[in-house]
Structure 1
Amino acid sequence: MVLYWKYLTILFKSQLQYRTSFWLLTAGQFLVPFAVFAGMYFLFQRFGQIEGWTFYEVALCFGIIHVAFSLGECLARGFDAFSSLVIGGDFDRILVRPRSTVLQVLGSKFEFTRVGRLVQGIFVLIWAVTHISVDWNIAKAVTLLLMIGCGVLIFSGIFILAATMCFWTVQGLEVANIFTDGGREMAQYPLQIYEKWVKVFFTFIIPFGCVNYLPLLFILDKTNGSSIGYMLAPLAGAIFILPCLAIWHVGVRHYRSTGS
């Protein structure tokens, strides 16, 4: 963690070399997602509710997934831009250093301007929490934190999988955006409103439903039967990242330099 903190410090200083650009990009990251949130607001203004879910309940869902995505995009940005390391042959240098390749790739890039998107997500989250009728307690607060933390792990895992493909394709594959940006857009609404195959895929394959929809049922007192399973559902995100890391190490063992 000391080494990772040094990586962040160096990257932060380098990005502040152009302060005006930095703050404008940060402001843009803060404002742009509001267009998506405004679209959701007008949707509820027109229809009132969706499958029994009110605006503030969906806003809570929106805030949680956007905070998780923003943190995941910040922390795992090195994997999102990993193809440039492979193309330029810079990953060869990482391999000869006496530290984990995962740590070094994580520290190779960190977009501090994405903090603007994070602040926007936190704003929506706080606004939703203050407007919904929920009897908050320690269990629900811990569940909310688990939802965010494990959501970060899911997005990070997807970035890692996309980066691993670069060992064979060299160039990054845009198809990965279906599960990062697409997953974020899908998970900002309750999983209940989608078709059955979508629910199955995003519960048992990429467990967005486990970190957003199922625990949200517990927080909103919409569960049937025991609540323990709903509370622990976010841990599927922590489990999801384990095979992602295992696949990454398989890719590292099969890496062949591009010869750049």
Structure 2
Amino acid sequence: MSLYFKYLHILFKSQMQYRTSFWLLSFGQFFIPLSVFAGLYFLFERFGQIKGWTFFEVALCFAVIHMAFAISECFARGFDSFSSLVRNGNFDRLLVRPRGTIIQVMGSQFEFTRLGRLIQSVIVLSWALSNLSIEWSFVKACILILMIVSGVFIFTGIFMLAATLCFWTIQGLEVVNIFTDGGREMAQYPLNIYHKWVTKFFTFVIPFGCVNYLPLMYVLGRSEGESILYMLAPIAGIVFILPCLLIWRFGVKHYRSTGS
């Protein structure tokens, strides 16, 4: 981890060499999800609720998933831009270094300008929580934090899977954005508003439902049956990273050097 933090420090210093550009990009990242949130606000202004969900309940859902995406996109950006390492043959250099490829790829790029998106999510989260009558406890507070952590692991795992495909396709595949950008847009609403097959897929295959919908039901006091299942749901999102790591190692073993 000391190596990882050195990567972090060096790339942060390099991006701060052009501070005006950095702050303008961060400013832009603040307003990109804000426009989406404005659409969400006007939707509820017109219809009042969606399948029993109020505006501030969905706003909480929105804030959690966007916060997780912003953190993952900042610190796991190396996997999202991994295709350039394979295409240019620079991944060969990572293989001969006495450190794991995962930590090196993660440390190859950071997007600190995602700070703007993160700040916007924190503001929405605070606004939603201040307008919801939640009977808070230590367990519920921990579950809320775990929801965000779980989302970070899921998005990082998807970025990792997309990077693994580059060992065979060389170029990155835009279809993966269905599960990153599309998953983010889909998961900003409670999953029960979609068709059952969509809910099942994004609960048991890519567990976005375990990030916000199921634990959110417990936090809001709307859970049915065994509450422990709703409480432990975010762990599924963290466990999601394990098969992604195995698939990544499989891809590394089958990587063919550029020969240059």
TM-score, structure 1 as length reference: 0.99
1:46-65 equivalent positions in 2, closer than 5 A: 46-65=46-65
Deviations 1:113-154 (A, max 9, x none): 011111111111111011111001111001001100011000
Q: 1:78 matched to which residue of 2? A: 78
Q: 2:145 matched to which residue of 1? A: 145
Does the alignment pair 1:234 with 2:237?
Answer: no
Q: 1:43 matched to which residue of 2? A: 43
Q: 2:250 matched to which residue of 1? A: 250
Q: 2:32 matched to which residue of 1? A: 32
- 1:19 CA drift (Å): 1.1
Which amino acid is 2:43 matched to? L
| Separation of aligned partners in 2, 1:175 and 1:241 | 20
| Separation of aligned partners in 2, 1:203 and 1:187 | 11
| Separation of aligned partners in 1, 2:257 and 2:129 | 50
| Separation of aligned partners in 2, 1:114 and 1:150 | 19
- 1:18 CA drift (Å): 1.1
| Separation of aligned partners in 2, 1:199 and 1:118 | 26
Q: 1:128 matched to which residue of 2? A: 128
| Separation of aligned partners in 1, 2:126 and 2:3 | 33
- 1:15 CA drift (Å): 0.7
Does the residue aligned with 2:97 lie in a helix, a strand or coil? coil
How many pairs align?
Answer: 260
| Separation of aligned partners in 1, 2:101 and 2:56 | 42
Does the residue aligned with 1:233 lie in a helix, a strand or coil? helix
- 1:239 CA drift (Å): 1.1
**Percentage identity across aligned positions?**
70
Does the residue aligned with 2:94 lie in a helix, a strand or coil? helix
Where does structure 2 lack aligned partners over 5 or more consecutive residues? none
Does the residue aligned with 1:158 lie in a helix, a strand or coil? helix
1:107-186 equivalent positions in 2, closer than 5 A: 107-186=107-186
- 1:11 CA drift (Å): 0.3
Which amino acid is 2:188 matched to? Q
- 1:258 CA drift (Å): 2.8
- 1:32 CA drift (Å): 1.4
| Separation of aligned partners in 1, 2:104 and 2:166 | 16
| Separation of aligned partners in 1, 2:229 and 2:87 | 44
| Separation of aligned partners in 2, 1:95 and 1:33 | 37
Does the residue aligned with 1:17 lie in a helix, a strand or coil? helix
Which amino acid is 2:25 matched to? L
Moved segments of 4+, more than 3 Å: none
Which amino acid is 2:186 matched to? M
Where does structure 1 lack aligned partners over 5 or more consecutive residues? none
Which amino acid is 1:126 matched to? S
Which amino acid is 1:242 matched to? L
Does the residue aligned with 2:160 lie in a helix, a strand or coil? helix
Which amino acid is 2:239 matched to? I
| Separation of aligned partners in 2, 1:213 and 1:258 | 44
Deviations 1:202-240 (A, max 9, x none): 000000001110000000000112211101000001111
| Separation of aligned partners in 1, 2:95 and 2:135 | 51
| Separation of aligned partners in 1, 2:259 and 2:133 | 60
| Separation of aligned partners in 2, 1:163 and 1:226 | 38
Which amino acid is 1:166 matched to? C
Does the residue aligned with 1:234 lie in a helix, a strand or coil? helix
| Separation of aligned partners in 1, 2:246 and 2:183 | 22
| Separation of aligned partners in 2, 1:48 and 1:67 | 25
| Separation of aligned partners in 1, 2:32 and 2:151 | 21
Deviations 1:165-205 (A, max 9, x none): 00000000001100000000000000010001100100000
Does the residue aligned with 1:89 lie in a helix, a strand or coil? coil
| Separation of aligned partners in 1, 2:146 and 2:6 | 27
Deviations 1:71-125 (A, max 9, x none): 1111110000000000111100000001110000000000000111111111111
- 1:16 CA drift (Å): 1.0
- 1:17 CA drift (Å): 1.2
- 1:50 CA drift (Å): 0.4
Q: 2:188 matched to which residue of 1? A: 188
